[in-house]
A = this chain, B = another copy of it.
């Protein structure tokens, strides 16, 4: 029944090893590659489409023709047409029925496409080359289904205009953070030892993977900008031009993280004051030079006045002054500045319970609403603290009606197991995007980002995530972490997609039925392992939303008191009687009041606050009974025992795939599960012991606590 298989592309050849093909293995192209295809249209991205189709047909026996918009037309019968419909006319191979009606739901825009199948011909139409590219990858995703039966015409458009990955990659190796800050997949694919890595094949493969899941923007260096990285803007610009040239055929625009102090450190100016004319001129001329070399340059990403980075505060200016300075330089070129809202006091005094890091982004930015230029995108971490496995959704998202807001997710698993733990994050992101800041009947975070009109802000924005990719043969260290990268792109395209549906897509692409011994078992196993893996991770780590019980040295593994007396502003305040942070308006830091109703009231209320966020908002006795019916202390014990048991089950499930899937993938995941189990056990025992020692309450079920 099962048979061992090997995905050839996972093997390494001479020189740079060929990375794992991820969700674009050759076999995924087979349904398309056996067809007679016509590609119609001109432009760089249409060239890409044609080249992809040609490669697939060469591999699988199909045939491809191309016609341009000059009117030339192929005459042979075809199974599939990918055509730009503007400027016309369409090739005659497109069935008349397709061209008759209007596009469903209005124009397709720059990136949309229309898919239909009539009279045994599958047709993808687009108004712009990028739409055709996304249509092509959609066909790959559909597989054989794209070429079977009739499909009524359906328009596909991205919900969000910019679907962006931030690479926290350093050009020069940072003495503490290494080549990639918070990177868990080896070195950078862009940089090595102070210069470009130069692995063009890998970069092209990466661009292709990103386009296939819908990503269309990348920032190529860390938001913490060192001196070497700063120079990407000026004398190292050639390196960025090269990257832009490599990524452009896949519809990806390059952005740069810049230091706010650039006029001083690069320009030799005496100040970086955003209101200084010389500074303004420097940014304008520097930005002009960048766009002269990279006409589609996306813009700047800025971490200012945050964790030691320079910013407008140094000059007595505020963040609107700072962001607008860069926005003014970028505006003539159609580019944007992503201004990160991750600003807080990282030198807090743990003795001072009135300071609350969770409040910081709102306190800093809400008063500035309306003052940001139109091409400023305020980039807000999804939660008010820092990428924890459980936080409330940031109140900033609902607080800035006159500001473009982007939500920032973290695909790299800084706080979610660092790609040693299987932790499929799409359910979590889906929950964040589906959150309705103004209550159940009102608009969601997705609606805010997608600019759906309604009460509250609707300026539109984009979705950004910190990347999880490195020079690891499996791209992400953990092969299953590829699913997170894929899911991010797909959610950015369509935030309404369900996490398990995305996982199905990823499974179909990554483990094509023709390459595995038992496709049903593979699908069932991957769902069993991944569907609930984020909640499993949550169970064995910090309880009930309190967060940040991690080892300060690297954020991996437990450190219950690791941040309890620190300057970083992340506490749990556990004592012998209880645990949690009082963030109510009545008796706490008032953070709950940063939400509009009903959430301000829900979070304020001990009775109404959801269990999973209880300790984020309230300090309660260990005997407090949750909505689930158990006490807080018993919940801690139960979830930690359960979490480890679930990891054991995940690992056991995985072993059923021995001999069924590619051996290298299998082995790597086995290795990761061994470590995940070791680490989860450590979490369980340290957290349980910590709270048992403090509370003195024994486990009601008599399990061993040390």
Contacts and interface: CB of A to CB of B under 8 A. Distances in A.
Interface of A: 175, 350-351, 552-553, 558, 560-561, 565, 574-577, 682, 685-686, 689-690, 692-696, 706
Nearest to A695: B576
A244 B575 CA distance: 58
A574 B693 contact: yes
Contacts of A696: 575-577
Contacts of A560: 561, 565
A633 B577 CA distance: 18
Contacts of A706: 350-351
Interface centre among A552, A553, A576, A685 (most CB of B within 10 A): A576
Nearest to A696: B576
Contacts of A574: 693
A322 B395 CA distance: 64
A351 B685 CA distance: 8
Contacts of A693: 574-576, 694
B686 A576 contact: no
Given A560-B565, A574-B693, A575-B696, 4 more contacts: A565-B682, A575-B694, A576-B576, A576-B696
Tell me if A's interface is mostly helix, strand, loop or mixed. Answer: loop
Interface centre among A351, A552, A560 (most CB of B within 10 A): A351
B351 A565 contact: no
A126 B682 CA distance: 64
Contacts of A692: 575
Indicate how many identical chains form the complex.
2
Interface centre among A682, A689, A693 (most CB of B within 10 A): A693
Contacts of A685: 351, 565
Contacts of A175: 175
A336 to B, nearest CB: 38
A575 B576 CA distance: 9
A686 B565 contact: yes
A567 to B, nearest CB: 10
A552 B558 CA distance: 14
A251 B542 CA distance: 60
Nearest to A561: B561
Interface centre among A692, A695, A706 (most CB of B within 10 A): A706
A576 B692 CA distance: 9
Nearest to A689: B565
Contacts of A565: 558, 560, 682, 685-686, 689
Nearest to A706: B351
Contacts of A686: 565
Nearest to A577: B696
Contacts of A350: 706
28 contacts: A175-B175, A350-B706, A351-B685, A351-B706, A552-B553, A553-B553, A558-B565, A560-B561, A560-B565, A561-B561, A561-B690, A565-B682, A565-B685, A565-B686, A565-B689, A574-B693, A575-B692, A575-B693, A575-B694, A575-B696, A576-B576, A576-B693, A576-B694, A576-B695, A576-B696, A577-B696, A693-B694, A694-B694
A168 B244 CA distance: 49
A688 to B, nearest CB: 11
A558 B351 CA distance: 15
A575 B351 CA distance: 22
A175 to B, nearest CB: 8
A703 to B, nearest CB: 13
A568 to B, nearest CB: 13
A269 B158 CA distance: 64
Nearest to A681: B351
A291 to B, nearest CB: 40
A689 B576 CA distance: 12
Nearest to A573: B693
A677 to B, nearest CB: 15
